[in-house]
Structure 1
Amino acid sequence: MSTEARLEILTRINRATRARGDVPARPVAPPPSAPRPHAEVIEQFAEYAAEYRAHVTRVDEAGLPGALRGLLAGERVALPQGLPPAWLAGLDATPDRGQGHAELGACGAVLTTCAVAIAETGTVVLDHGPGQGRRALTLLPDHHVCVVYASQVVDSVPQAVAALRGAVQAGQPLTWISGPSATSDIELSRVEGVHGPRRLDVVLVLEPGHLADPA
């Protein structure tokens, strides 16, 4: 039996026993909050995301639609359900209606939100809820533009896991993204775009109370 098959069986058993109430839920202590100003957390996320070769654009709420139009100009954009209509003006939009891989792959870009972002790793996490779409939608186009609100940025991986607990309990898939998709061969030659988008743009929306000075 393969490792993948064994993991699938154990996962199903765990979900089934918890659904029947055979296994009491254990209390989970919340992770400690960041002992530093949130502006510093946001800046670390932006810095580390850029180190992973993501392009980070800082905007406020009013400037978000214009920034998206600039980043996606000239591209056919795959769109998940649940995005605010104000973001979509001027885009060559292709709403997701369950298209096959070939049609999704013909889109040059995809626009999504995220569930949470992590400062200490420069990672954005999708739980594929509203505004994020199914996994194929975010893996096949060559360019991913991901909108991250400052209030979604947490300091550490444990804090992110705590924020994602509801999605995990609901059985939603998670996609953890640290920079564009890339791999290296035995000689460490880096090739981008093998397993997902070749380009990643993170649009960081700075909100009142979570402001960070541009670098």
Structure 2
Amino acid sequence: MSEARANILNRLRHSARPQPTITEPEAAPAPPLSQADKVAQLKQRMEAMHAEVIITNSGDWTTALKAVLRQRSLNGLLYAPHSPIGVMLSEGWDSDLPPLVAYEQSVEDCKERLFTIDAGITSTQGGLADVGALILWPTPDEPRLMSLAPAVHIAVLEASKIHDSLASAMRTERWAERMPTNALLISGPSKTADIELVLTFGVHGPKELIVLVLND
């Protein structure tokens, strides 16, 4: 056997030897956030995406809502009259506020009016503190168009339903057992980016997102 061939075979045998596996220690899991920390983190993340986040309380959140509406000139507020939010709104609505517009007809019957109403209000399934997003599960009472068609989307979020992450929300609420036909994650007003990755807000969909976070 030539010396050159012997060297090649020797190198092949050496390279074929199993190399020791180096495993890095797993990072310790982060401690769960308190409710106050979740609220603060969600607020910071969502405001970075041009959302307006208002911290209020569950017993008087309609007062905060009315203050928001009085700061704007709106032609109406689209709402679901049979939802818990809708019932509360219809029980004590002031005459100087934008008129409540009930979403009770099919899309085909109210399409023209639906896309001319300035604002819509919906409930939320929860929130995600780590990324700053709302979880919406459209229902027959609150279909997707209520958060999509009006220029201003007002979302009501219970602070107790803010989760650390999407994985935590799916696990805690047992999504695998009752997933809707579609679940939505909303982080701010509608946005899009051009070929140069310049982000523009309010192009396709709501130009404003206002989140009322209800503390216990």
Structure 1 residue ranges without an equivalent (≥5): 1-31, 208-215
Count, aligned residues: 175
C-alpha contact 1:55 1:200 (8 A) present in aligned 2: yes
Within 5 Å, give how 1:39-118 maps onto structure 2. 39-73=36-70, 74-75=73-74, 76-80=76-80, 81-82=82-83, 83-88=85-90, 89-90=93-94, 91-97=98-104, 98-99=106-107, 100-118=110-128
Secondary structure of 1:138 counterpart: helix
Give 1:78 deviation, angstroms.
Answer: 0.8
Q: 2:184 aligns with which of 159, 169, 175?
A: 175
**Residues 127 and 66 (structure 1 numbering): CA distance in 2 closer, same or farther, change over 3 Å?**
same
5+ residue gaps, structure 2: 1-28
CA distance in 1, matches of 2:213, 2:152: 17
Single out whichever of 136-145 and 83-92 deviates more from structure 2: 83-92
Q: 1:176 to 1:164 in 2, by over 3 A?
A: farther
User: Is the Cα contact below 8 Å between 2:137 and 2:180 reproduced in 1?
Assistant: no
Measured after TM superposition, the shift of residue 169 of structure 1 is: 3.3
TM-score of the superposition, structure 1-length normalised? Answer: 0.72
Give, in angstroms, the shift of residue 130 of structure 1.
7.6
Q: Counterpart of 2:171 in structure 1: which amino acid?
A: A
State the match for 1:143 in structure 2.
Answer: 152
Give structure 1 regions of 4+ aligned residues with deviation exceeding 6 angstroms: none
Larger Rg: 2
The residue type equivalent to 2:37 in the other structure is E
TM-score, structure 2 as length reference = 0.72
The residue type paired with residue 180 of structure 1 is: P
Distance in 2 (alpha carbons) for counterparts of 1:78 and 1:109: 6
Percent identity (aligned):
26
175-184 vs 86-95, which deviates more?
A: 86-95
After TM superposition, give the deviation of residue 41 of structure 1 in Å.
1.7
Go from structure 1 to structure 2 and tell me whether the alpha carbon gap of 1:114 and 1:173 turns closer, same or farther (over 3 Å shift): same
Contact (CA 8 Å) 2:79, 2:103: kept in 1 or not?
yes
